[in-house]
Amino acid sequence: MASLHSVKRWQLSGTDYDATRSETLFSAWTPLSNKTSNRQLFQERTSLVLRWFDLWADGQRKRLLHSLLTRCSGSQLGYCRDLLMETLPVTRVDFTAVLPRFLSLYVMSFLSPRDLCAAARVSWHWRILAEQDCLWADRCVRRGWFLPYAPGEREFGAWKNHYIACVATLDWLAPREAAEQYGTLSRRSAGPTEEEEERRKERKIRQMIKDRLEEEKQISMRSRRAWGTSPKPGRAIGGGAQIGRPPSGLSSRSWSPSVDGEQLSQSLSKPSGALLSFTYRPAPPHATPRIHLPAPTLLLLLSNRVPAYELLLAGAKAGAAVVLYDHRGTLSALATQAERALCGQRARRLGLLAPGGTEEIHLLRDRSLSERTLLTPDHREFWEKLCGWVEPAEDGGGIDLFCPLAASASGVAVIRTLSALTGREVRAPAGLATGSFQSILSEWSDGSVGGGLWNQPASPALRFVHESVLQSWCRQARWMEDALEELRVLLEPRLQRLRLQARGRALGHFLWERIRLEDLCVSEDLSEALTEGLSALAREEDARLRTRPLEFLAAFLSRWSEEEEEGGDGRSLSRTPEPPRVSVSAVCSDGPRELALPSCLQAALDWRGAVVRELHRSEGVYLGMLAAVLKVYQEPLTAAVNSGRAILSLADVQVVLAPVAQILELSKAFQADLHARLQQWGGDQCVGDVFLKLCSKLRVYSSYLNNYTTALHAIDKCRETKPPFRAFLKRSDRTLATHMLSLQELLLCPVWRIQEYVTLLQALSLHTPPDHPDRTHLDSALDALLRFRGLVQELKRNSERERLMEETQQMIRGCPNLAEGNRRLVITQDAALLRSRDDRIPDSLRTYEQVSDVGLFLFNDALVLTRRNVRHTPFTPAHRSAHTFLASVALASLVVRAITHSRYVSHAFVLEGPRRSWVCATDREEERGHFLSVLRSAIDSALTGGQ
């Protein structure tokens, strides 16, 4: 090695190399310390290698690249990979050329017929895939369009051509055209005419012919070969039947000689409601397609404004299709959802479960189903289209409305009009049970025009939802909604406490209303025996007996009874203990036993008596809650004030609890009058004057409602500032004496009771004949209660409006005062603020970049834009949104226009104010359409109000 070094240094001695200056050691003339010389020499050698590389052949270049890549490290190979991905991106590869054929067909199965025709124009390979029979056969079969021949072995696109031919010749009538031709709207004749009889016979004959043809087509389709196999002509399949080209000379060209994708798009552009949306369910691979028409299903339309709708979704039966829809949507969107759920079938029954009362159903936020709105054009078109997918009345089809419409005259009018409009049987609860949605489990109308009652053991609602789930939901819907609302907002932190509250309410209801724990009395002998037995169990030294306390107590009581009998002192426990004695208050709460119905037949005949008995029973429960407020809260607080150790001042006690005492006295007198009338009940008995007496003193409820908000604020303020009152509420709230409710929840009972009065009075008025002596008084009382209920609803809306305004004011930083005049919040929407570099290009052709996230707060007179900052919480997927005031525009000077969807921008719209404009975009098209429709309505209202 030394000789080699000396030789190397001898060779370098004749050059200008200086080892002390350049510090180059065996570097092949590449300086290490001199960066300028190193860079220059590297560039010269790189250009030399590239010059050689250009002169080499393709094989030599590949060998050099392979040698270089095998010598690279991991980071260098990663750099090469990124460079290749940037130069030749893989995302531009045709998925049909990469995926297997069955996966490509599965992807295309989710396309609509119009999209399949458009995909067939992409390339020859896409056309082969888009015209496969497996994509079009199911679409034809679900609509009853069967191919009249067996396609040949090499015949291509037969089912697609048949589908296009059927769509091109589809004879479709709009609902109004059908009404003019057939008279299917609300016009009902006295009896069937000769023309209607002929039409009915003709329909029966057509149905028989259609059934025969379907049976023949099913037999022919079962014998058809599976897709993907290519048997030779004459090859036996299954039971030996040979498949070949049928003797008929029909082919696909004979059916649609000149119909292509454009003609199909034009055909589908017609307002054909049955073809707007449908779902495709592909058959399992390598399986012979079989025609199976399932039995008609049950369709339940469920609003997301229904309390605790999650429980109903979990308890839906297997044969029921549940459509959970957004209450902020439109009637056309709801009809589309129902059509998708049915998948081309016809439903046996149609159910509707939405918030409502005895006069109307709140179907959507701005669409209520009532006697006044049912005959409007949009409602008529919606119900005609919806009931076109329901079986006729003679086949058992009908509509079930889960609101007590049968309890009022206006509700019965809605049922009659809807039945006449759709030609279907319509049923609704009679409203003979009070509480949260408990009328669903009571008697239902029989669906006739007369509006009678249908008293059968099984409620129509049990067809859709399991009985145990429905009963639990009906009884606890209001409390479940409170728990779920808090759970949706706060989730994990308060989950444990809400679970205990819900369980405590259920347990308290059972112990207080069913078992009546406070009214149970135990005999003195039994108490003494149990006390001695428990003492003996505590002194027992045998561990085996202490671990089995029930057996020990049974043996002890047996010995005790024997000793008492032998002693002969008159006490005996051997005989059966006396049943628990119930106090008089327990009997009075449910009414005297002689008032009970003697038989089911009497209950079916005396509906006025059933309503009055339910009113008397529920009034007893209501009185118990009001009495609990005074007994548990007012009496201890007043006693503390009188003793000089006040928990609350006397003024605060009067503000919070004094109106409850007045309502309690009024309700006691009302229940006493009802009790007296029930003791002498008969067919001509009157209770309308009792209601009029109650309505004459509704000012007590008015003063209570006016003081209700002040009382809640006083409770919250005293609870925060006075620790003794906070400890008192902690001891008293949610006990058996308060029915497992808090003070705030008990103060809400009078508000709920007003609605129950209206429901029961409407049911009583409905079943009172016009010539009854009580009719006039009932109508007057009902009108008074309806007006008072409107006042309560107006107070509730004002309170909700003020709460939303306060929350919005606190949410937006730097925002001016929003609480001005009669301003209210209509809707909020999150969007992205866009900016374009060139304003001379049309909107749909511009390229946009997102500037920031914005929040749109729409009020009834102005639109507020805020800058929205999203902040994510570390280690959790949660995030928070902070809003900063950006601008505000009066609706009277605002212009809005949508931007056409293109490849450069989607879901965008322009807001033009007096001085500047904003281009915004939402995440989904549904959000943009909904927000723009509400915004245009608000602008029209602002302009109309300004004029």
Other Cβ atoms closer than 10 A to 887: 15
pLDDT in tens, 117-156: 999 999 988 999 999 989 998 888 888 788 888 887 778 8
Q: Which residues of 492-514 are buried (b: 16+ CB within 10 A; e: fewer)?
A: eeeeeebeebbeebeebbeebee
Question: pLDDT at position 480, please?
Answer: 64
Question: pLDDT at position 511, please?
Answer: 62
Burial of 87 (C-beta count, 10 Å sphere; 0-12/13-18/19+)? exposed
Q: How far apart are CA 106 and CA 135, in angstroms?
A: 9
Please state whether beta strands 425-427 and 398-401 pair in parallel, antiparallel, or not at all (unpaired): parallel
Q: Do residues 320 and 332 touch, judged by C-beta distance below 8 A?
A: no
Strand ranges across the sheet with 812-813: 812-813, 879-890, 862-872, 848-859, 825-836, 917-921, 908-912, 895-898
Instruction: Return the DSSP state at 861.
Output: S
Question: pLDDT at position 484, please?
Answer: 59
DSSP per-residue string spanning 221-273: HHTSPPTT--PPTT-EETTTEE----SS---HHHH-SS--HHHHHHHHTS--G
pLDDT in tens, 174-208: 555 555 554 544 444 445 566 677 777 777 887 88
Q: How far apart are CA 412 and CA 530, in angstroms?
A: 59
Burial of 598 (C-beta count, 10 Å sphere; 0-12/13-18/19+)? exposed
* Residue indicated by tokens 């706060």: 490
Q: Is 733 helix (H, G, I), strand (E, B) or coil?
A: coil
Residues of the chain with pLDDT under 50: 1-27, 182, 184-190, 224-295, 449-457, 492-493, 495, 569-604, 947
Rounded to 5°, angle at Cα 110 from 108 and 111: 70
Question: pLDDT at position 224, please?
Answer: 47
Question: pLDDT at position 858, please?
Answer: 92
Other Cβ atoms closer than 10 A to 262: 11
Start-to-end Cα distance in the chain:
106
Q: How far apart are CA 295 and CA 424, in angstroms?
A: 19
Question: pLDDT at position 150, please?
Answer: 82
C-alpha closest to that of 153 among 237, 242, 233, 248: 233
